[in-house]
Amino acid sequence: MSKSAEFFTLSDATAHAVVGPSSRHAALIEDAFDVLIETPGGGLAVKGDSRARGSAKQVLQALAEKVEKGQAIAEADVRVAIGRVRVGRGSAPGALPTGRRGQVSPKTVAQAQYLQTLSDCDLVFGLGPAGTGKTFLAVAHGAGMLLRGEVERLIVSRPAVEAGERLGFLPGDLSEKVDPYMAPVWEALTDILGVDQFRRRRDKGEIELAPIAFMRGRTLSHAFVIVDEAQNCSRLQMKMVLTRIGEGARMVVTGDPSQVDLPHASDSGLAHAVGLLEGVKGVGVSRFTATDVVRHPLVERIVRAYEGEKSPSRTGA
């Protein structure tokens, strides 16, 4: 296959910003499309086969446009631009939908890597503190697949009532019992799909929200499955839900291993499953830290304070 070169003109300052410090941005693009990017002066040269050159050039041009508008370029921006070119804007596999507040996109490098892992792997674990976008981005990714017809259903499940699944004391039918525990997912879905479309798709059975207990005995085929707050799944529950994956299905399991509500934290199935499955073909693990918190800035400071908390003996408790 021919490895021709293509050159396009940019100012030295723009070219330098696009390729990034120590050419880190260029390296990401080279790895993504199997090309070679050089800066001979007065612009950029891209070497590779014609299709790869074209894809790389689209990314470089998108980044150059941001630079020329006075915007700084971070690695997350590069990964987002690569992802958009790989899948095509707005309609191809992996593209995120536009929510009520605009285009859904990653805000940190870890979020961009998480979205890439969701595209690459059939089973993904998203681990980290509150406010890092684990659930919202999983919902956005799954909603995008549903809207494009890549899956037939979007199923969201989570443990209820401190992992005890004791729903009987609540009034109402199953939906009314479950909905309070699904409020965060409701909010994400209505933000992305809008209230009317969310209700229509839920009424048609294309969107299902259910506690972990109701996954037993099922085979989930041609579905995108989100297991949220998974740190409160027992080991048996985790094994049960992971083995529900059927033909054409994908699953993401999200949770914060430091926030286990089970009587004995060691019973949590999340950390146990990650320990067993990390490195298995088709399984991806994405980890978030306090630096990835995208809620109110105070949330990051709260998370850091708890992470730095000493043992009770140090505080006199």
210 occurs within a structural domain: yes
Exposure letters 152-177 (e unless 16+ CB within 10 A, then b): ebbbbbbbbbebeeebeeeeeeeeeb
Specify whether the CB–CB gap between 46 and 35 falls below 8 A: yes
99 occurs within a structural domain: no
Q: Which domain holds residue 78?
A: 5-87
Please state, in angstroms and rounded to a whole number, the distance separating the CA atoms of residues 150 and 135. 20
Residues 73 and 128 in one domain: no
Residues 82 and 113 in one domain: no
Please state, in angstroms and rounded to a whole number, the distance separating the CA atoms of residues 55 and 50. 9
* Residue finishing a domain among 54, 87, 120: 87
Residues 37 and 158 in one domain: no
Residues 261 and 140 in one domain: yes
Specify whether the CB–CB gap between 299 and 131 falls below 8 A: yes
pLDDT of residue 314: 38
pLDDT value at 52 more than 80: yes
Task: Tell me the two tokens of residue 289.
Answer: 């830290």
112 occurs within a structural domain: yes
> Can you give the CATH number for the domain in which 17 is found?
3.30.1370.10
Residues 40 and 128 in one domain: no
Residues 67 and 215 in one domain: no
Q: Which residues pair with 153 in a beta bridge?
A: 223
Candidates 14, 16, 52, 12; CA nearest to 36 is 52
Strands, E, within the chain: which ranges? 5-9, 36-38, 43-47, 98-99, 102-103, 123-127, 153-158, 207-211, 223-227, 250-255, 283-287
> Can you give the CATH number for the domain in which 223 is found?
3.40.50.300
How confident is the model over 54-89, as pLDDT tens digits? 889 999 999 999 999 998 888 878 877 886 676 554
If DSSP codes are grouped into helix, strand and coil, which group holds residue 45? strand
- pTM, two decimals, is 0.64
If DSSP codes are grouped into helix, strand and coil, which group holds residue 314? helix
Q: List strands edge to edge, sheet with 250-255.
A: 207-211, 153-158, 223-227, 250-255, 123-127, 283-287
Residues 83 and 113 in one domain: no
pLDDT of residue 163: 38
pLDDT value at 161 more than 50: no
How confident is the model over 181-191, as pLDDT tens digits? 677 788 888 88
* Residue finishing a domain among 25, 55, 87: 87
The confidence band for 170, taking pLDDT boundaries of 50, 70 and 90, is: very low
Task: Tell me the two tokens of residue 161.
Answer: 């009532």
Q: Which has more confidence, 257 or 309? A: 257
67 occurs within a structural domain: yes
pLDDT of residue 313: 42
pLDDT of residue 164: 43
Specify whether the CB–CB gap between 84 and 95 falls below 8 A: yes
How confident is the model over 96-149, as pLDDT tens digits? 776 666 677 788 888 989 999 999 999 999 999 988 889 999 999 999 888 877
Please state, in angstroms and rounded to a whole number, the distance separating the CA atoms of residues 111 and 101. 18
Number of domains in the chain: 2
Residues 147 and 296 in one domain: yes
125 occurs within a structural domain: yes
Asked whether the CA dihedral 214, 216, 219, 222 is positive or negative, the reply is positive
Residues 156 and 249 in one domain: yes
If DSSP codes are grouped into helix, strand and coil, which group holds residue 211? strand
pLDDT value at 167 more than 60: no
pLDDT of residue 315: 40
Residues 39 and 161 in one domain: no
278 occurs within a structural domain: yes
Residues 161 and 220 in one domain: yes
Over residues 160-167, the mean pLDDT reads 47
* Residue finishing a domain among 87, 119, 143: 87
Name residues whose C-beta falls within 8 Å of residue 137's C-beta, 6 or more positions apart in sequence.
Answer: 104, 106, 111, 114, 115, 118, 126
pLDDT of residue 98: 67
Please state, in angstroms and rounded to a whole number, the distance separating the CA atoms of residues 69 and 207. 40
Please state, in angstroms and rounded to a whole number, the distance separating the CA atoms of residues 28 and 42. 22
102 occurs within a structural domain: no
pLDDT of residue 217: 87
97 occurs within a structural domain: no
How confident is the model over 238-262, as pLDDT tens digits? 999 999 999 889 999 999 998 888 8
Q: Which has more confidence, 20 or 179? A: 20
Residues 128 and 79 in one domain: no
